[in-house]
Amino acid sequence: MKSLSRWAKRLTSFTAVLLLATAAQTNFASFDAPARAYLGEKPGRARNGTPEQMIVAAIDDIRAGKMGDARATVDALLDKQPNYRLAHLLSADLYAMRAVPLDKIGGAASAPADRLEDLRREALVRSKREAAPPPLDQLPAPLLVMSPKQKNVILVDAGASRIYIYANNNGVPRYVTDFYATIGKLGMGKQVEGDQRTPLGVYFVTSHMPRAQMDKTMGAQAALYGVGAWPMSYPNEWDKRLGRTGHGIWLHGVPYDTYSRAPWASNGCVALTNPEMLAVADYLQIGTTPVVIVPKIEWLNQDAWRARNQEAQQTLDGWRSAWENRDTRNYLAEYSRAFVSEDGQSFDKWAVQKASVNAGKLWAKVKLGDISIFATGGDKPMWVTTFEQDYSSNNLNNRMRKRLYWQRDDAQWKIVWEGAAGAG
């Protein structure tokens, strides 16, 4: 009776917690066959590990018919994380299975369908990560060149609701860890204010808003961000060039009354559990750390990654060399016909002006330092190159932090935007 009372208490607790869950996109996680538990089963053995490893282990045990182990793991997980909604759902399922078999997660729960689908989607996303972890013998294609000042890069796979941390190992990205993450309610590809989508592109962490500060400035609304927030530089230069609107895209935690949110549940930010957000924060350098958000990570073997790394660096140096040598024809060939200058000039007008300027130079020197190059992926991939530019000539000396956006034009990468780097 004591055991049944415990399960009934967990079921009631689950129902209350589930009703607080935010809506996301529909998906499901089913058991391989209808699963059923039995009252006479012996106590199982709890799995150890992170909360994610434990929740996936419990799901795997249910599918394998190891109900005692699943119950023991869920109990241990709820002792560790009492506000974990997905764990409450599995607890309720295991209790219900004593009466009827279930063919999917949440099959016996009497709760709004969208709340159940949120939790099923979380189960699916977390299970996929455990089934197919990041290939440690390969490198992520978006991280082409890391500046010596960038100790780490945050890489977000929006399609997989996953955030990766890579360290800068003498210019080569080295895997550190990865976490489950929440993105916008309506997915990725932010375009306008309020569209509840997470932007895709290269951004930088611009500041830190501790929870105590947020309590003072935001009042009760601060509770949405848990341990605090780390704002990012959306909209970046390319977003503005395309007329994208919106603001307040942050890395942040979740309310203290829940362990994690659904995979698609934010208003466009990237949200993590509070413990994991604090773990990520240890790798953030304000004003320096890039956050590269892509729809899906392309993984490359070592040789393929080095080839792309060299291609990107050589392409950038070809632009620098043509400019330094006052080779106007080849210099202008580095730019797309779709290029628009920082002050809004079309390519044709800007090209006439640049040719006139170059004709008035007797000599020029162009040095680039602190270079980073990241790729955005997707249907129209871009390179985002950022560097310290030291330009000198017979009649001008100039230093600036500069950024170039490149897109493929047939077989060549061409510059589509050029100007001062707004962040990073």
**Where in the sequence numbering do the catalytic residues fall?**
252, 269
By three-state DSSP, how is residue 207 classified?
A: coil
Whether residue 264 contacts residue 25, with contact meaning beta carbons closer than 8 Å, is answered with yes
d(CA 182, CA 128): 15
d(CA 202, CA 150): 14
Closest CA to 300 of 152, 114, 181, 134: 134
Whether residue 107 contacts residue 93, with contact meaning beta carbons closer than 8 Å, is answered with yes
Structure token digits, residue 343: 């002050």
Cβ atoms within 10 A of the Cβ of 321, count?
A: 14
CB-neighbour burial class of residue 417 (10 A; exposed 0-12, middle 13-18, buried 19+):
buried
Give per-residue burial for 95-127: e unless 16+ CB within 10 Å, then b: bbbeeeebebbbbbbebeeebbbbbbbbbbbbb
d(CA 377, CA 375): 6
Structure token digits, residue 422: 């707004």
d(CA 249, CA 270): 8
Structure token digits, residue 170: 């003498």
Closest CA to 51 of 84, 95, 6, 94: 84
d(CA 320, CA 389): 10
Count of all residues that appear for the chain in the document: 424
Residue 379 makes CB contacts below 8 A (sequence gap 6+) with none
Q: Determine phi and psi for 270, rounding to 5 degrees.
A: -110, 115
d(CA 45, CA 70): 8
Closest CA to 72 of 37, 101, 106, 116: 37
Whether residue 206 contacts residue 233, with contact meaning beta carbons closer than 8 Å, is answered with yes
